[in-house]
Structure 1
């Protein structure tokens, strides 16, 4: 049975940056070096409730962190960035992308020498590719890759000279993971013959970019059977080609006994920076905010 705090509290996320000393997927053992927290003040009028979906990217010998921030449960997400040269001093987070609609999941990657971002733009019914300026502080719309569905949490992978786009179709409030392919990143995308490749609350939505580690491919997947932000599973991709797709469950990495992840989380991302395995996750928590409780009461009375 849900506790009183679970019933009336805000469901929040915070971003954690860690160093993996050994096992990349043993999240509970990683060495935490930096937190980007959501609001802790119970009297904040406009609390930051979502600091989530972190993506790491190395550029010009600096480690960049891109993530979603959302103020208030009725607010829209924006994309912020912070960076570091030494894993110790981080710049003050700044807004790098804001649209008239909700943004999240700022998947930043390099492909054939060009840097791109694919944020979630599901409320627009599109998958949109963005390009940055030279210091990655501003991003512009470059090309719409897909449209016509409520696409969420898209991850792109180049594999054996083909491009694969993993994206969840949430049009009917159900997680249906679809796979598209193209012979160029800005070319025509067609649905894979094996698509959809997964569906349901525990397999149908990516929890970060596809992972290429020690010669193997992995897909992080969100667990949402009990609630959003419940956890993250890792699947190993056993076969990927223009005609075949097969994956096998490997392990659950979130939640775990580490106090930061006991309640859950819904994202995992990594990169190598200064010969270290850097890991970015988000962690689920529940916080009390009295203004938010009052807002809910007013909405309930008026409805």
Structure 2
């Protein structure tokens, strides 16, 4: 066993989490003194009990802190008491009545819930509340040395953003970087996987920003280090020595993140309370093996899965903790690889939030029993087909981006929205007359009155790129008319979600550029509106959709991250005006096939259904109907029960992304592709500038400032 730098026993000179771990040989005198002082501070606890009963609450908390040793000036650093000290404290506190000391009192960070009087804007910032803190989670990191890949550093950053979650140990592979025998050039060229090796060197190594190495940082660099040399058994399995496992156990970790080593098995898997967590970049039910994100493109799969699992002794049969799905990029394996790496960086943080909120029972669920095939390194024959496939995808994408420009239009279906739940249903759509090539209409929401359907929608001028809200008055017996100049806003506006409540008509448009969700009330529908409240501040919400269900108002919306992936969030409120509270499990899901809201949630036979966009094959490709299984302020679960695609034989055959209920009718939108000369010239110039910039400087990944969509109807990305 090889311990870390500095003091013997693998412990850093700076004390961070209390005394030396039990079981580590050769602990420094400094740490023995720490244990002694902590024990001395806890010893008079029982004798002081009668005096403690008479102290006020604030003084009582201070006294307990001193008795625990956390406020004792003799300690080298401010430390959390060990579990043995905490147990003695708990036994001594029995009989104090309603005052419980199962945990020390801390300041807990809780989501803001709006103004104290009940009505006002909410946001997803945080306020400090003096409530009993949850138990802290301490974790270790398995790594290969003094650096992490960028995506791994982002995972740690997400964890460090959560109160009460702290790193406690680095477990370093002592054999990492060891020289291995290399085959000669002629042997490599004769290999059946030679093309993969050449492709990897030319197009992957150094070309994926998420894989670039970064330093650990000052905080992680000061953690205790244990250097382990795992024993290789068989071809891939690694086993830790009993001494290493005992040393790791002594830190009493809650979980271990695996960023290093290979396929680990044995006692190390139970060395932490919640085991060892590892990423599997792929859908466990369909793809196992290597290289990740490659075979999805080769097999034509539109999505790539990311799975966080708790490892077991079985190969790829761990306990699935969290999953998400991102879009595959057929024209670029490097970009698909990038999306897969950064798409799941917050999955460990989500599990930690669930554990701290007592919602993490799935950590002890049954292991996965996948029977997915195991893929190997692609052979030369596979690579020839793959290269041809990606080259064709590049040409097709560039040609479509230059010559086939999307145009959306609005239509009415004379059937209720729940009819779309039947896979055999074939809607008959009455489309609005097609707009000119420069404009399109999308995101329709409607109100019925006096045998007239009034639709509010987004109108986009493709030359300006700015969305504005319009009203379409469509009588049952007559031609539709468009009214412009209503609800004028200073930012791009889309998705004008309509709510009829207590005889009034309200509109909640998407204005993500202003980072707020505003509520407007109609004074004279649909021409005159007034802003009555800001429901949510500081949140760039995409497509906010409201529904009243089981006595609560619910708001579903999307949040776009730095990689362009959209995660589903929710809020709830007792009344339309608020106060709006963030859901405890935010983000609720990330699946490119069924996350971003795509119309009005509706209740059918007592069950709530939520329309969502399916963007797996492109933006606005289809609408997925999700059946909500559980919806409470702390829990959420839904499943896709139907997918509504465009009519390939209709006038708008290439896309659909809104289903909106209006009585016994449904309003929808549809997309077609056509050539717009002015758009071609603008996009050709844009593509040329992007290619020049791409060649002049390397692309970097932005890990700090999220990129939010300025428009729900944004154009597809420029091909490179």
Above 0.5 in TM-score?
A: yes
Partner residue in 1 for 2:514: 124
Displacement after TM superposition at 1:75 (Å):
1.8
The structure-2 alpha-carbon separation of the partners of 1:22 and 1:136, relative to structure 1 and needing over 3 Å to count, comes to: closer
The structure-2 alpha-carbon separation of the partners of 1:3 and 1:299, relative to structure 1 and needing over 3 Å to count, comes to: closer
Larger relative helix fraction: 2
Aligned counterparts of 2:503 and 2:631: Cα–Cα separation in 1: 23
Partner residue in 2 for 1:35: 432
Are 1:227 and 2:618 counterparts? Answer: yes
Are 1:83 and 2:83 counterparts? Answer: no
Aligned counterparts of 2:689 and 2:401: Cα–Cα separation in 1: 20
Aligned counterparts of 2:578 and 2:418: Cα–Cα separation in 1: 37
Residues 186-195 or 124-133, more deviating: 186-195
The structure-2 alpha-carbon separation of the partners of 1:176 and 1:182, relative to structure 1 and needing over 3 Å to count, comes to: same
Residues 281-290 or 54-63, more deviating: 54-63
The structure-2 alpha-carbon separation of the partners of 1:87 and 1:181, relative to structure 1 and needing over 3 Å to count, comes to: farther
Displacement after TM superposition at 1:111 (Å):
2.0
Displacement after TM superposition at 1:133 (Å):
1.4
The structure-2 alpha-carbon separation of the partners of 1:22 and 1:249, relative to structure 1 and needing over 3 Å to count, comes to: closer
Is the Cα–Cα contact under 8 Å of residues 54 and 281 in structure 1 kept in the other structure? yes
The structure-2 alpha-carbon separation of the partners of 1:102 and 1:171, relative to structure 1 and needing over 3 Å to count, comes to: farther
Partner residue in 2 for 1:6: 400
Aligned counterparts of 2:515 and 2:561: Cα–Cα separation in 1: 9
Question: What secondary structure is seen at the aligned counterpart in 1 of 2:430?
Answer: strand
Aligned counterparts of 2:462 and 2:627: Cα–Cα separation in 1: 36
Partner residue in 1 for 2:681: 294
Q: Select which of 570, 592, 597 maps to 1:201.
A: 592
CA RMSD, 1 decimal = 2.4
Is the Cα–Cα contact under 8 Å of residues 5 and 288 in structure 1 kept in the other structure? no
Aligned counterparts of 1:287 and 1:208: Cα–Cα separation in 2: 25
Question: What secondary structure is seen at the aligned counterpart in 2 of 1:63?
Answer: strand
Partner residue in 1 for 2:670: 283
Partner residue in 2 for 1:43: none
Q: Select which of 485, 505, 514 maps to 1:115.
A: 505
* 1:185-208 deviation line (CA, Å, top 9, x unaligned): 112211112332221322220101
Aligned counterparts of 1:156 and 1:199: Cα–Cα separation in 2: 19
Aligned counterparts of 1:52 and 1:81: Cα–Cα separation in 2: 12
Q: Select which of 570, 578, 600 maps to 1:187.
A: 578
Q: TM-score, normalised by structure 2?
A: 0.38
The structure-2 alpha-carbon separation of the partners of 1:258 and 1:237, relative to structure 1 and needing over 3 Å to count, comes to: farther
The structure-2 alpha-carbon separation of the partners of 1:132 and 1:288, relative to structure 1 and needing over 3 Å to count, comes to: same
* 1:229-266 deviation line (CA, Å, top 9, x unaligned): 11111011223233432212111111455534542211
The structure-2 alpha-carbon separation of the partners of 1:29 and 1:77, relative to structure 1 and needing over 3 Å to count, comes to: same
Aligned counterparts of 1:37 and 1:171: Cα–Cα separation in 2: 34
The structure-2 alpha-carbon separation of the partners of 1:85 and 1:295, relative to structure 1 and needing over 3 Å to count, comes to: closer
The structure-2 alpha-carbon separation of the partners of 1:90 and 1:243, relative to structure 1 and needing over 3 Å to count, comes to: same
Aligned counterparts of 2:470 and 2:460: Cα–Cα separation in 1: 10
Q: Select which of 396, 410, 414 maps to 1:19.
A: 414
Is the Cα–Cα contact under 8 Å of residues 417 and 661 in structure 2 kept in the other structure? no
Structure 1: tracts of 5 or more residues without a match: 41-46
For 1:67-216, what aligned pairs fall within 5 Å after superposition? Answer: 67-72=457-462, 74-172=464-562, 173-216=564-607
Aligned counterparts of 2:605 and 2:688: Cα–Cα separation in 1: 56
Are 1:250 and 2:641 counterparts? Answer: yes
Aligned counterparts of 1:92 and 1:256: Cα–Cα separation in 2: 25
Aligned counterparts of 2:418 and 2:520: Cα–Cα separation in 1: 33
Tell me how many residue pairs correspond in the alignment. 292
Is the Cα–Cα contact under 8 Å of residues 408 and 670 in structure 2 kept in the other structure? yes
Partner residue in 2 for 1:267: 658
Structure 2: tracts of 5 or more residues without a match: 1-392, 691-720
* 1:98-125 deviation line (CA, Å, top 9, x unaligned): 2111000010111233321011001111
Are 1:58 and 2:453 counterparts? Answer: no
The structure-2 alpha-carbon separation of the partners of 1:171 and 1:19, relative to structure 1 and needing over 3 Å to count, comes to: same
Relative contact order higher in (CA < 8 Å, ≥ 6 apart) = 1
The structure-2 alpha-carbon separation of the partners of 1:217 and 1:258, relative to structure 1 and needing over 3 Å to count, comes to: farther
Aligned counterparts of 1:67 and 1:131: Cα–Cα separation in 2: 16
Is the Cα–Cα contact under 8 Å of residues 494 and 509 in structure 2 kept in the other structure? yes
Aligned counterparts of 1:23 and 1:88: Cα–Cα separation in 2: 26
Is the Cα–Cα contact under 8 Å of residues 132 and 138 in structure 1 kept in the other structure? yes
Partner residue in 2 for 1:44: none
Is the Cα–Cα contact under 8 Å of residues 470 and 482 in structure 2 kept in the other structure? no
Are 1:241 and 2:632 counterparts? Answer: yes
Aligned counterparts of 1:73 and 1:223: Cα–Cα separation in 2: 27
Larger radius of gyration: 2
* 1:241-299 deviation line (CA, Å, top 9, x unaligned): 33432212111111455534542211111222xxxx32211112111011111222334
Larger relative strand fraction: 1
